[in-house]
Structure 1
Amino acid sequence: METQDADDQEVFEIVDFTTASEWECFIATVEETIHEWRLSGERPPQSPLTRGQLATARWREKNVVIKFADFPFMLTHHSIISDTADSPPEESADTNTDYDSDDESKRLPQFLEDMMNRDNDFPARAHCLVRWYGAREMLTLAPANPRTPITCPSKSRLLLSSVTIAANNTNCQVPLFVQVHQGSSRVYVGVGLGSGVRTDFNMVYLKHPPPQCSHLAGLLDVFRNKLQCTVTSQPVLVSVRFTYVLKEWPHTLWTQQPPDFDATLTEVGFSDLGKLPFGALSDPVSELHVSATWPCVSEDVLVDSDVYSDLDPVSAPLWTARLIAAPSPPCLLSEYLTEFLDVCRSNLSIAQVLGPAFLHDLDPDPDHQISSALDRLTKPAVPSLSAVVGRVRRSTHRQQQHTNKPQHQPTNTNTNNTQQQQQQSGSESGPIPIDILVPILNYLFPDAEGEQPSFPYQATLSQVPEWRTEDGDTQEHPLKSPLSNMKSSGSDGLVWRLGVSLCHVIHCLGGLAAAAHLWHEVVLELRFRWEHCVAVPGVGGGPPDLASTLLHQKLQMLNCCIARRNAREQATHISGCEDMEEEDEFFECEEEVEDEEDERSSSSNNRGGGVVRGGAGGGGAGWSSWDKPEGRLKRCGTLRLLHTGEPLYIPVTQDPAPVTEDRLEEHTDALLRLGTDSLGSHLRARLMSAALLSDMESFKAANPGAALEDFVRWYSPRDWIEEGGTEVGGGGGSKDSQAPPNPSSHPPQGSLSTRMQIPGNMWKEVWNSAKPVPARRQKRLFDDTRGAEEVLHWLGSLGPGAACCHLLPTVLHAAICRLAQERLLFSLPASTTPLPQPRHSNTLASVLNVIAQRATRLSRQPPDPDKYQELVEQVAEVEACVARAQSVRHKILGDNNGGGGGTGNGGASCDGGGEGGGEGGSERRSTLEDLVLRLLDSPEVTLEGGPRGEAARVVQRLFQQAYKASQLLDDSPGDSEGDGDIPGPGGSPVSELGRPVGREYLLRTTVPAPSPASRPLPHRMFAVLLPGEFRLTGAFSQDTIFCAL
């Protein structure tokens, strides 16, 4: 019973053969993609390919992922973009055509016509299938994951059958290829259908060629046997190409040396310290390929068998050359910038990098240095240079340099030798040796050397260095326009030199630790200068320039603090001296002055002007001791006070407080946080009235008895309305502006403007609270001591990474200017590598201009190393292009620096004998100059004149020099030097170029297939013989209509 129930519950699987299988779904997906890309149906004829079009034209690729069951494939459509076509190929499928259907049935598919084209036999740069079959359009099917190749023959045939069915169902005349085996082997099988013709694309890939396939005669036999050609068949057209490779360049052809930092600071001097290095450390050109080509000749013309060959490159009608650039050659400028970016990404502090022991060594005896408990409590985070005297500045070398700068000497000069040795131990144990550190500091702060420094700063700092022509004339810098608005610092200023010096020490002296050491020394130097009131050189005067970097603004702020402190101390000293002189000396007043004072006193009495005061000049005896005028600068024209009639004097006021952009942003944020209500507006006005209060107090002190109207007449003339006049406006004027002279002795009649009479006006409140205090006795609007300590604290709190981040715009600025110093750059074409391509120019100079514009925009953003990474890569690419050009010029022309001078001793052109003078020499050099530019701009160039041209002779000399150099290094026989090359045919002589490294044979003909009654169809076979590789590709067509025997 249980068995019966189990049988009843058994479920039988029903297979529905009407549903689509996975194989049918795969074919349907391929067909759908072909229809979507408009590759189905008959297509109108296209114009024939022009010479070299397959190599120089742009290509378009479309990709889609198609799955066979769970296995993904990538279907790619490769098509050429024709500049002469009115519409792209995919848009022409649905257009109406007027050509005759009978002609269409006779016309062969487009890929067969391209296969027989004779102008694109060996394209220099194209897809491998394009090179082997000459097609301008094709579809490829490959595994989406390269690590899962199709290695099974049955799967390969299944995929080929699938795409054949899809092409047949959609009437697609674009050849389809399926990639099999490993992706690195580049093995494809394919099929092409259309107009009653089927073309099979097959391939043979071996490590070594069979003996019968190592020469042209054997390949012709294979080709004829495949086609079953008869004696009456058309001759086979043959194109042969032999390629010779120059890999080992003579050592004299590359003279670039890596920088020697010790030599820079000792033997050479400081000239290289302020300049970023440039150039490739190794030869950026790895190989030179020279190809001798016999294009499209009959099989009877060439003889190449196992016993004899007349394929000598000297007899080839066409010579071509191409350069193979070294992948990512190491270049100095790019290495400097990359390492600088790496340091910028560090978040470590100086103490974390150098260790606490290093900082403790700076203060071996703190009790001796700190003079009071208050100094101990307020000791800044960055120790003063007086606390570390002897570490660098107290060294013997530094003492001799400071003999002419007494104000720059520390106060503690009685330190014994034992203490000096103890204090110098910290510097000697640092990453930068003291004999290198001191010259760097002298370079950054040249005024410490004395009255005649080696490298003084310029009086004015410009955004770009001075630009001189080859004749020595000064011209406008080519990058002045894009770099003039860059938020950087002046060229060759302190910030500029600091950034370049940090690049040097990072690359040569220890990376992050060296950067921390130098930055720490710079901060110590800045504190020393503040303590001793010595200005910081190389940053310019005046308030902080908000168009420069924040670090440059901070240094300018420090200079402002030093200048204010000097002026304040000097004014205090002069005032004290004047008081002492007034107490000790008596000056008798002259009679003319007394008469003038009497007249002014009587004039005041006649006007009834209140208290009688004699002596408007401030020194008369009629002034009260508490009402004595002080702080007068000069008279304000002929203006007089309204109530007293005394002349109105412009007071000495405090200068506006300098501010950096970070403090300005903080102040703006604080004002915005007060809100927009009445209370917030009142508080905002109070915060902004500090400068107004100071000016009012100075005005009251200089003009006793003055009223608010008098202050407005001087400070804001537009807010004073003359009687009978109109109100000029409510805007604030300038405190330095003055009213026009009033010749009348009577006081002017008028009133304040409307906004000044509003109840609760801030000006009235400030005027009522202001006291007559001269500027020198007022509370300072800008506390230079506090400002300097804030700057020094900000600088001392920066780690080496943060300091380098603030220097990023300046370092990139210096790198771009360093690129512009290479004059060869302005004559080079733009590289095809991923560089920003200008719209209206195709030169490397225009690319550098675009990079400078991007750097200018990026400099106005907060410094971010990740954002600068792309620009650094572009700068590195430009450097590699220029270094590559210098290498080629040195090899072809003999120039050592690529500057266009005479030929040197290392190039190939120096062996030209007596051709170097006169018109012939200039014409010859012009030809070689053109060859250099074409080699750099094109993937492959044709050597004019073939093997007998001037360019070919230079190339032959390069090969000869390389051969001679190899013979000097290797005493083995010359026949053994080509172990890695393809052994030549039995009777072929070895030419001056050596033995060919690669040989290519292209055979094609038109014969009926598969039977003599079929239509004549194109056939093609391409053979490639390389070291360790033999490839034989064939495209053989069959007539599917007339195929009967």
Structure 2
Amino acid sequence: MNGGSGLTSLPLVSIPKDIRGAPPESFVVRLSKVIGCFKSLQKIACFWGCVVIELRRLWSEGLPVPWMPLDADPDLDSCLLHQQLQVINCCISRKLRQNAAIKSLDSVIREANLVNKVMVDSPDNSNSMRYAKLVSGQLVLRLGVDHLSENLTMLETGEPVYSPVTQEGPILTEEFIKETEELVLRTGSFGVGCSQLLSDMQAFKAANPGCVLEDFIRWHSPPDWSEMESTSEYNDSADGEGSSRRGRLSKRMLKEGNLWQELWKSAKPLPAVQQTPVFDEDLAVESIFTTLEDIPPSELLEQLFVSMLSSAFTIAEASISQDSHVSKIFYECKDWVFATCQNGISSDNIGDICKVYETVETIVTHPEEAITIMDQSEEAASEEPKSRFKRINLNFVKKDINLLRKKPPKDKKKSKEKQNHVFSQLFDAKSLFLKKQPKLWGGVSTSESELDVNDWEIVQI
């Protein structure tokens, strides 16, 4: 599997989003497998410190978090940790695009400076995308052009309208949305929206020298512009307020103090890559790392537990036939666990959740016992769901013990060595990150005296 993509063959639509977990085989699920092998909070804290250090290193080198989508919007139905890691990968992808845009702009300016003045005064068709002719006849270099906007020409110059390369907006996580809503409720300010609109205006002006506000509105917000249907209609309203050649602005755009008009006056022709960032990737990622360093143990472990749980149910669901006898009891287990987790995981219910999970595991590993399961389910129909699941699970455990008693004893030492070998393959900490980096953990110390365990309270278990 490609560690960079982190995609699984299981359909993502089957992920149980009700309990806010993470996709199977994602970094968070793999992390939960590794941390689940530790026996004390002290070891978990030390390992978590190593993970954050390694994530910082990947970010500083422009390498994405493995086993995660490379450039996908955060999945708001997943746990916050998964969303935060998605943000890191999104920011890395954005930085790559920004660097490419800077190089492209520098190349355009450099080539324009080398063009002969005679060619500039009479550019051929190959230069039409690079220059726009003003009303005065002057040719001005277009900057930050992305592509031609079909069927649009500038109202005053008649030159074709080109869509600019614009800044990408904020990366929306559940946390960011909540903070924005609180800001709007507290101050009534839509600062991020205004910054984005101003940025788009500046990029549009740079790509379309000689443009007017109406040109931008026709490109950015077509519903706020209406075309004149006839020449007579144009003649009747040619001098009317809001009319411009062959169309008219909407009423909201003509209101006194309209935000768009005010921003257009202050907007300067400036390509997106030369503007002040609307969304600061470095600041966003640093904030995430600070959050991960200070995360309370209970928050981290709950997210990892739920992610592992949701992944397990997704895998189980894919292996159970929808028409089989065991599917009914499986979905009863699934519904009960999801309903319980939605109310919050606590010391009072985690034991029951684990027991029901064991029942599902048993169903998957012993499909031949479907009839027994259904029989017990019918006999225990009046019982509470979790009690019925426990009884079914215990029935399997009893059968397994009887089967083991019939088999000759194995060499305990060899069995343990084999088990350790399997776990070293599945849960090796290095497998969390790209295998192309052999020196991954070589420079990271796991010594308790050298490693910051993020102020976690260390207890011996």
Q: Tell me the secondary structure at the aligned position of residue 789 of structure 1.
A: helix
Tell me the distance in 2 between the aligned counterparts of 1:938 and 1:858.
24
Describe the shift of the 1:666–1:641 C-alpha distance in structure 2 as closer, same or farther (beyond 3 A): same
Q: 1:962 to 1:555 in 2, by over 3 A?
A: closer
In structure 1, C-alpha distance between the alignment counterparts of 2:126 and 2:323, rounded to whole Å: 75
Aligned residues: 369
Matched with 1:788 is 285
Aligned equivalent of 2:152, options 639, 661, 673: 639
Change in Cα spacing, 1:589 to 1:527, as seen in structure 2 (3 Å) is farther
State the partner residue of 1:555: 85
Aligned mate of 2:172, from 649, 654, 659 = 659
Range with greater deviation from structure 2 (645-654 or 777-786): 645-654
Distance in 2 between residues matched to 1:576 and 1:856, nearest whole Å: 54
Aligned to 1:536: 65
* Alignment match, 1:872: 354
C-alpha distance in 2 between matches for 1:567 and 1:492 = 27
Match of 2:195 in 1: 690
What's the % identity of the aligned pairs? 28
Structure 1 residues 663 and 801: alpha-carbon distance in aligned structure 2, compared to 1, 3 A threshold: same
| Offset, 1:489 | 1.7
Matching residue of 1:515: 44
Residue matched to 1:802: 299
Cα deviation digits, residues 671-716 of structure 1 (max 9, x gap): 1123xxxxx4xxx245531111100111111112211111111111
**Is residue 269 of structure 2 the alignment partner of residue 772 of structure 1?**
yes
Residues 938 and 757 of structure 1: is their aligned pair in 2 closer, same or farther, counting only changes over 3 Å? Answer: closer
Amino acid at match of 2:184: L
Partners of 2:142 and 2:206 within 8 A in 1: yes
Q: AA paired with 2:56?
A: R
> 1: distance between equivalents of 2:370 and 2:24?
34
Aligned residue identity for 2:223: R
Maintained 8 Å contact 2:15/2:314: no
Alpha-carbon offset, residue 556 of structure 1: 0.6
Q: Return the offset for 1:543.
A: 2.0
Cα distance in 2 for partners of 1:874, 1:816 equals 11
Cα 1:548/1:695, change in 2 over 3 Å: same
Could you say which residue in structure 2 is the equivalent of 1:722? Answer: 227
Question: Conserved in 2, the CA contact under 8 Å of 1:516 and 1:799?
Answer: no
- Determine whether 1:461 maps to 2:7: yes
Render the CA deviation track for 1:807-853: whole Å, top value 9, x for unaligned.
Answer: 232121134346558869997xxxxxxxxxxxxxxx65323213323
On the 8 A contact 1:486/1:859 being kept in 2, the answer is yes
Give the letter aligned to residue 7 of structure 2: L
The whole-number CA distance in structure 1 between the counterparts of 2:305 and 2:252 is 49
Alpha-carbon distance in 1 for matches of 2:135, 2:316: 75
Counterparts in 2 of 1:649 and 1:570: CA distance versus 1, 3 Å: closer
Give the superposition deviation at 1:554: 0.1
Partner of 1:202: none
Superposition map of 1:796-835 within 5 A: 796-817=293-314
Partners of 1:694 and 1:935 lie apart in 2 by: 65
In structure 2, distance between residues paired with 1:704 and 1:561: 31
Asked if structure 1 preserves the Cα contact closer than 8 Å seen for 2:302 and 2:345, the reply is: yes
Structure 2 counterpart of 1:501: 34
1: CA distance, partners of 2:18 / 2:153? 47
Q: In structure 1, what is the equivalent of residue 328 of structure 2?
A: 846
Q: Which residue of 184, 202, 206 corresponds with 1:671?
A: 184
2:138 equivalent in structure 1: 613
SS of the residue corresponding to residue 788 of structure 1 reads helix
CA 1:962–1:570 in 2, change beyond 3 Å: closer, same or farther? closer
TM (norm. structure 1) is 0.32
**Separation in 2, partners of 1:661, 1:898:** 40
Whether the aligned pair in 1 keeps the contact of 2:72 and 2:86 (CA below 8 Å) is yes
- Which of 4, 25, 33 does residue 492 from structure 1 map onto? 25
Decide whether aligned partners of structure 1 residues 661 and 932 sit closer, same or farther in structure 2, where only a CA change above 3 A counts: closer
Q: Is the 8 A contact 1:543 1:556 kept in 2?
A: yes
What are the equivalent positions in structure 2 for 1:830-909 lying under 5 Å apart? 845-856=327-338, 868-877=350-359, 882=363, 898=366, 900=368
- The structure richer in helix per residue is 2
How far has the Cα of 1:870 moved from its partner?
Answer: 4.0
Give the whole-Å Cα distance in 2 for the aligned partners of 1:724 and 1:882. 69
Q: Is the 8 A contact 1:808 1:863 kept in 2?
A: no
The answer to whether the 8 A contact 1:701-1:772 is kept is: yes
Paired letter, 1:524 = I
* Pair 660,785 (structure 1): closer, same or farther in 2 beyond 3 Å: same
Query: What are the residue-to-residue correspondences of 1:343-422 with 2, within 5 Å?
Result: none
* 1:566 counterpart = 2:96: yes
Amino acid at match of 1:461: L
Q: Which one has more relative contact order, counting CA pairs under 8 Å at least 6 apart?
A: 2
Deviating more after overlay: 647-656 vs 484-493: 484-493
1:750-769 aligned at under 5 Å gives the runs 750-769=247-266
Shift, 1:937, TM fit: 7.7
Letter in 1 for 2:284: G
Question: Measured at CA, do residues 846 and 772 of structure 1 come closer, stay the same or move farther in structure 2, by a change above 3 Å?
Answer: same
> Is the 8 Å Cα contact of residues 482 and 853 (structure 1) preserved in structure 2?
no
**Larger of the two Rg values belongs to structure:** 1
Q: Which aligned pairs between 1:155-166 and structure 2 lie closer than 5 A?
A: none
**Cα distance in 1 between the residues matched to 2:405 and 2:146:** 82
Report the Cα distance in structure 2 between the residues aligned to 1:756 and 1:490, rounded to whole angstroms: 45
| 1:511 CA displacement | 2.5
- In 1, the alpha carbon distance for the partners of 2:321 and 2:273 equals 60
**TM superposition shift of 1:860:** 6.1
In structure 2, the partner of 1:342 is none
Equivalents in 2 of 1:565, 1:861: separation in Å?
40
Structure 1 spans left out of the alignment, 5+ residues: 1-454, 467-475, 615-622, 675-679, 726-746, 828-842, 884-896, 901-927, 940-958, 966-1045
